[in-house]
Structures are given as C-alpha cells and as structure tokens.
Amino acid sequence: MFTWKALEAGAAKVIAVEPDPANLECLRRNFQEGDCGRVRGAGRRGRVEQAGKMTLNLGNGSNTGVNSMVEKESDKSIAVPVTTLDQLVKDLGLAKVNFIKMDIEGAEREALAGALETLKKDRPRLMLDLNHRTDDSTALPAVIRRAHADYRAICGPCQMNEHGVAELVPHVIYFE
Amino acid sequence: MRRLSPLVLWAAFGLAGYFFVLPHLLTNGWAAYMKMTDKAEQCSWANTLTFYSSLDKFDKLYTKYREGLKTAEVDEAASLKRLEAPGARSFWAQQRRRGGGLWCAH
C-alpha cells in the first residue's frame, strides 16, 4: 500500500524490503506489471544494525504485518538474511535517499542505527511507527538525532500506548 | 408552517449533543487531560484536541475498505488470494490469514 502511495506521489524509485517469503511473493505479484520498473524489491532481507542472519518471529496468523524480530506472538519463526540500510544503499548504488518509511514491529531503532551514514549524508524525511516498544517515543528520536541533532519531529495521529502504559503517543511520527 | 414545540427542539438538541458533541468533548477532553499531566508529551496540542476526529476518520476508512473487499482470484498452491477493493487496484495477500489481507503490502 505504501509502495503504491509513493509511486502515485511521483517517487522515482521505491525500494521495498520484505523479510517474510510469503509477503515477498505478494509484493512481487503486486508490482510485476505497469510500475515502469520503479519498484525494486530488496528480497528476503530485514533491516538491522548489523548484516548477518536473524530470527523473524511470525505472527499468530491474524495479521501478516506483525512478524517481528523483537516481539514474539507465536512459536513459529524463520531465519532470514539481514543487512543494514547503509549497506543496502551501497549495494543498490542509490545516489540519494529522500524518504524512509518504517513500521517494522519494534526493530526500528536497530534499523535506524544501521542507517546512520545515510541519515547523515542525505537527511531523508522519515515516517516511523512509534508504538512498538514502550520507550520508542524517546529511543527513536535519540537514534535519529545522532545523525542530525536538529532533525525536527512532527507528530502524526495519536493513540493510546499499546503496552499498558497510560499515555497518549503518536502512532506515526515524521522527521524532517 | 407549523412551529416545533420547545420540547421537540430541546429533544433534538439533546440528541445531537449526545451523539455528536459529547463523544468529541469526552474523548478530546480526556486527551487534553493526558497532555496537561505530561502523559502525551510527544503528541502535539493540535492532534490532542482533534483526537476523537482522528480515531473516527481511521475507523471509517478501515470500515470502508474492509466492507468493500472481495476475493477475485485464489492461488491455492501458493496459499495466496487476489483481492479487489473499491477505488483501488487489486492486490495479492496471504490466504491463511484472516483480516482480509489488508496488511499484505504493509
């Protein structure tokens, strides 16, 4: 859905990263025609702090969007090759990264830590889900500001903290 | 034209208030209380004071797309299905999951 939105908004190239093989097949089918070669799948790779292999915990069957490298909803898991965003940018020869959208079920801070070079160099705008780990609302801005101390946070729609903490947090937060 | 009785007018205002104004007041008021007690530090005042509208908008969008989804094609071997939604291009989703596959291209 977000890949479509990015294309509709005029993105020259969209890199979609999907570690779950079944979701990846969906992605391939959804973009095999008529997208003018502007979508590039990064295959079965997660985005983390260091390259290697990691365990992807699969969701409990109710939602394919809840597979996570941090949270565990079921006993099912698979090993997936992972890389950093900085390495991915190098591998794909991307001259500039303008925008990063990330909703990766709690692994955001590790993925951002693996993207510091890109954040420093290109200062892309960011759209992040901020409600996976209890301290996301403070931890993620801290990582981002290691790249640029003046990255400005813009609050998106708010919701209750999903981890039993009585607080209202932005579901999505933008940085620019 | 026959004039409405004060009772009917009061009842109309009361119902409108109950169904339209009260939910906004209660939900946004609660959100504002959270903000004032430092339990919504990351949320802007603008988003805090429109908390109810924001929830309502998301709920309506979700319902609209969920209700309009229909399965156009099934690939049993791959356990995938292609779904069609009104006003959007069709898309493939995992079949084994419930929830209409809205999250496949997540």
Residue B96, number of CB atoms within 10 A of its CB: 12
**Nearest beta carbon to residue B40 from set A61, A156, A168:** A168
Write out the residue range of the structural domain in which residue B83 sits.
69-106
What is the average pLDDT across B82-90? 85
Are A140 and A126 in contact by the 8 Å Cβ rule? The answer is no
Q: How far is A15 from chain B (nearest CA, A)?
A: 13
**Structural element, H or E, at residue A127:** strand A125-129
Are A40 and A76 in contact by the 8 Å Cβ rule? The answer is no
Do you know the residue count of chain B?
A: 106
- The CATH topology of domain A2-175 is Rossmann fold (3.40.50)
CB contact under 8 A, A61 and B97: yes
For chain A, the structural domain boundaries read 2-175
- Asked if residue B50 and residue B1 are part of one domain, the reply reads yes
**A27 chain-B contacts, CB cut-off 8 A:** 105
B100 pLDDT higher than 50: no
- Asked if residue B38 and residue B5 are part of one domain, the reply reads yes
- Asked if residue B103 and residue B59 are part of one domain, the reply reads no
Output the tens digit of pLDDT for each of chain A's 176 residues: 788 888 888 988 999 888 888 888 888 888 865 555 566 655 555 566 666 777 787 776 656 667 777 777 677 788 888 889 999 999 999 999 999 999 888 888 889 999 999 999 999 999 998 778 888 888 999 999 999 999 999 998 888 877 777 888 888 889 99
Pick the more confident residue, A62 or B25. B25
Q: Which residue of A has its CA nearest to B90?
A: A30
Distance (Å, rounded) from C-alpha B64 to C-alpha B60? 6
Task: For residue A101, give the 3-state DSSP assignment.
Answer: strand
**For residue A139, which of A108, A166, A170, A174 has the smallest C-alpha distance?**
A108
Contacts of A158 (CB under 8 A, 6+ apart): A168, A169, A170, A171, B31, B40, B43, B47, B48, B51, B54
- Asked if residue B86 and residue B54 are part of one domain, the reply reads no
- Asked if residue B28 and residue B11 are part of one domain, the reply reads yes
Which chain B residues have any C-beta within 8 angstroms of a chain A C-beta?
31, 34-35, 39-44, 47-48, 51, 54-55, 58, 78-80, 82, 89, 91-94, 96-99, 101-106
B105 pLDDT higher than 50: no
Number of domains within chain B = 2
CB contact under 8 A, B93 and A26: yes
Task: List pLDDT tens digits, range B41-85.
Answer: 889 999 999 999 999 998 998 888 888 889 999 999 988 999 998
Write down the H helix ranges in A65-164: 85-91, 108-113, 116-122, 136-144
ipTM, two decimals, is 0.74
